[in-house]
């Protein structure tokens, strides 16, 4: 475990390049592995979660060459059953995407998850796959949660699945079912949350020649489709950049984050609307975002987080710096992330003096109370570590982030980028 010490920092300035999108990197790797030929992925994110995705597609027969700034993925059709258990790390997305993909393989595969199915459920996805003719079960392997997929293909047909647990279930089916025996009809039995992530999957599929028409509560996936190779560039990640933008907003700062394209499909670009509503001066440029923080208290806000759950940790810090009461709701799914993020934010920000109330659906934060340094346990959750680092920038004294290396999961350069912008930090070099 590595600690990072955060000192109060009144001002940030300068510019950095946004981290590449983890979500796009993972989707582009999987689509490339399903293609008959070689695809090149430029500007990919190398992190613990994307490494898990690379391991998974390699185990099923794809040939991956990793070079700095560009990966090549040679797909294989049909995929092969994994000879050894596939280590999905703690990447819930890798696990949920690859379970349906493994069903396409010619042989059986076992996928092992280092997290917990209690926190990151998969059973709704397994139930849908069974309705589509896949033999799949969950259990234990060597003390770890595991999924056992028989392989042999997907029959297709009709299935139903809830849309308010994880959009990753839907994306996983979208990857695999175009290669099913017959058309697949997916009925979504509740409101689809994080719908922009499904649109992101759809956009990646189109680049590989696969069409999946999606409607509000129904997705029709034509069978008999084939993935074609495609070369693409991974865009910058608004989910990660949100922490830097929020850091500028709560300090007297002028910061520019490059490699952010506001036109692409990313739900978390909503951070710009949130900042504007809180009174922050921001500017959207062609390939960058500029934020100017005045060092004054922000306006309180009400945020429905059902489509932007990953922004909640950053929003919580903004709310601590607002003059008044902010409400974050529609965030029940945060209890099923790497940690119970609502509980983690409540526990750790309370240590720092934040006036915060937790309920089943979100957080109520009475902003304006002075924060003080504390020893922070991020609960092995990258977004909690990053959020509490932001709180440390405006807290009196020093804040210690324990197990700070957990940021490697999605944003290995987080502390490096903050330092480049002028944050006073000790430690935190986790660049890949």
Look at residue 112 and tell me if it is in a domain: yes
d(C-alpha 46, C-alpha 98), whole Å: 18
Question: pLDDT category, 13, cuts 50, 70, 90?
Answer: very high
d(C-alpha 111, C-alpha 113), whole Å: 7
Look at residue 332 and tell me if it is in a domain: yes
Are residue 84 and residue 207 in the same domain, yes or no?
yes
What pLDDT score was predicted for residue 242?
Answer: 98
Question: pLDDT category, 428, cuts 50, 70, 90?
Answer: confident
d(C-alpha 90, C-alpha 87), whole Å: 9
Q: At 333, list the tokens.
A: 């799914």
CB 117 within 8 A of CB 194: no
Look at residue 231 and tell me if it is in a domain: no
Domain boundary among 197, 223, 249: 223
List pLDDT tens digits, range 176-205: 999 999 999 999 999 888 899 999 999 999
Percent of the chain topping pLDDT 70: 99
Catalytic position from the list 49, 145, 237, 310: 310
CB contact burial 340-371 (16+ within 10 A = b; e otherwise): bbbebbbbbbebbbbebeeeebbbebbbeeeb
What pLDDT score was predicted for residue 431?
Answer: 66
Look at residue 296 and tell me if it is in a domain: yes
Partners of residue 290 on adjacent β-strands:
256, 283
Cβ within 8 Å of residue 246, ≥6 positions away: 271, 275, 314, 315, 317, 318, 390
Question: pLDDT category, 128, cuts 50, 70, 90?
Answer: very high
List pLDDT tens digits, range 207-255: 999 999 877 789 999 999 999 999 999 999 999 999 999 999 999 999 9
Strands 157-161 and 184-188: parallel
Question: pLDDT category, 131, cuts 50, 70, 90?
Answer: very high
Look at residue 432 and tell me if it is in a domain: no
What pLDDT score was predicted for residue 386?
Answer: 98
Are residue 253 and residue 355 in the same domain, yes or no?
yes
Are residue 324 and residue 258 in the same domain, yes or no?
yes
d(C-alpha 310, C-alpha 292), whole Å: 23
Are residue 212 and residue 296 in the same domain, yes or no?
no
Cis before 266 (ω within 30): no
Are residue 392 and residue 246 in the same domain, yes or no?
yes
Phi, psi torsion values for 210, nearest 5 degrees: -110, 130
| Cα–Cα distance list, 103 to 120, 136, 173, 175 (Å) | 20, 8, 10, 11
What secondary structure does DSSP assign to 137-203, as a single string? EEEEETTEEEEEE--S----EEEEE-SSS-HHHHHHHHHHGGGSSS-EEEEE-SPPSSHHHHHHHHH
Are residue 219 and residue 279 in the same domain, yes or no?
no
Closest CA to 226 of 34, 371, 398: 34
Are residue 134 and residue 69 in the same domain, yes or no?
yes
Q: Looking at the 3D structure of the chain, how many domains does it have?
A: 2
List pLDDT tens digits, range 50-78: 999 999 999 999 999 999 899 999 999 99
Look at residue 331 and tell me if it is in a domain: yes
Are residue 327 and residue 407 in the same domain, yes or no?
yes
Are residue 267 and residue 289 in the same domain, yes or no?
yes
List pLDDT tens digits, range 270-319: 999 999 999 999 999 999 999 999 888 999 999 999 999 999 999 999 99
- To the query of whether residue 396 is one of the catalytic residues in this protein, the response is no
Domain boundary among 162, 194, 223: 223
- Residue 284 has a CB neighbour count (10 Å cut-off) of 13
What region does 208 belong to: left with phi over 0, alpha with psi -120 to 50, or beta?
alpha
CB 384 within 8 A of CB 378: yes
Strands 375-376 and 398-401: parallel
Cis before 78 (ω within 30): yes
d(C-alpha 311, C-alpha 195), whole Å: 15
Are residue 283 and residue 299 in the same domain, yes or no?
yes
Sign of the CA dihedral 228, 113, 312, 247?
A: negative
What pLDDT score was predicted for residue 9?
Answer: 96
Are residue 8 and residue 114 in the same domain, yes or no?
no
- 3-class state of residue 282 by DSSP: strand
Cα-based torsion angle of the residue sequence 23, 28, 31, 37 in order, rounded to the nearest 10 degrees: -170
Look at residue 278 and tell me if it is in a domain: yes
d(C-alpha 92, C-alpha 99), whole Å: 11
What pLDDT score was predicted for residue 116?
Answer: 84
List pLDDT tens digits, range 92-117: 999 999 999 999 999 999 999 998 88
Residues in the chain, how many?
Answer: 432
Are residue 333 and residue 370 in the same domain, yes or no?
yes
- Res 432 pLDDT > 60: no
- Res 348 pLDDT > 60: yes
155-182: average pLDDT: 96
Look at residue 228 and tell me if it is in a domain: no
What pLDDT score was predicted for residue 198?
Answer: 94
* Domain carrying residue 288: 4-19+236-426
Domain boundary among 173, 201, 223: 223
Cα-based torsion angle of the residue sequence 24, 29, 35, 38 in order, rounded to the nearest 10 degrees: 110
The CATH number of residue 274's host domain is 3.65.10.10
């Amino acid at each position: 475990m590595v600690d990072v010490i955060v000192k109060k920092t009144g001002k940030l300035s300068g510019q950095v390049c946004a981290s590449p999108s983890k979500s796009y990197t993972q989707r582009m790797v999987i689509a490339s592995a399903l293609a008959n030929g070689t695809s090149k992925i430029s500007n990919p994110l190398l992190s613990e979660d994307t490494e898990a995705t690379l391991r998974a597609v390699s185990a099923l027969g794809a040939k991956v060459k990793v070079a700095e700034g560009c990966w090549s993925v040679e797909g294989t059709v049909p995929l092969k059953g994994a000879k050894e258990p596939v280590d999905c790390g703690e990447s819930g997305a890798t696990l949920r995407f690859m379970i349906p993909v493994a069903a396409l393989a010619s042989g059986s595969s076992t996928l092992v998850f280092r997290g917990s199915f209690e926190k990151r459920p998969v059973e709704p996805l397994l139930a849908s796959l069974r309705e589509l003719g896949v033999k799949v079960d969950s259990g234990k392997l060597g003390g770890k949660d595991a999924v056992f997929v028989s392989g042999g293909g997907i029959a297709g047909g009709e299935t139903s699945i809830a849309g308010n647990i994880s959009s990753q279930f839907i994306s996983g089916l979208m990857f695999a079912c175009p290669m099913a025996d017959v058309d697949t009809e997916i009925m979504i039995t509740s409101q689809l949350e994080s719908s922009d992530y499904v649109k992101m999957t759809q956009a990646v599929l189109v680049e590989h020649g696969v069409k999946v028409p999606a409607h509000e509560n129904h997705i029709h996936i034509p069978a008999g489709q084939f993935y074609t190779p495609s070369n693409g560039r991974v865009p910058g990640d608004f989910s990660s950049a949100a922490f830097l933008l929020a850091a500028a907003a709560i300090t007297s700062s002028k910061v520019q984050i490059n490699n952010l394209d506001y036109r692409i499909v990313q739900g978390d670009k909503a951070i710009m609307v949130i900042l504007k509503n809180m009174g922050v001066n921001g500017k959207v440029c062609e390939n960058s975002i500029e934020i100017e923080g005045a060092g004054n208290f922000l306006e309180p806000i009400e945020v429905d987080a059902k489509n932007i759950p990953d922004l909640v940790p950053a929003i919580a810090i903004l709310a601590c710096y607002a003059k008044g009461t902010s409400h974050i709701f529609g965030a029940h799914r945060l209890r099923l992330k790497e940690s119970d993020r609502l509980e983690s934010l409540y526990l750790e920000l309370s240590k720092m003096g934040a006036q915060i109330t937790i309920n089943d659906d979100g957080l109520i934060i009475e902003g304006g109370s002075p924060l003080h340094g504390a020893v922070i346990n991020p609960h092995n959750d990258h977004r909690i570590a990053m959020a509490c680092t932001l709180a440390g920038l405006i807290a009196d004294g020093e804040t210690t982030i324990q197990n700070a290396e957990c940021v490697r999961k999605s944003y290995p350069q987080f502390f490096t980028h903050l330092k480049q912008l002028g944050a006073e930090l000790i430690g935190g070099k986790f660049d890949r």
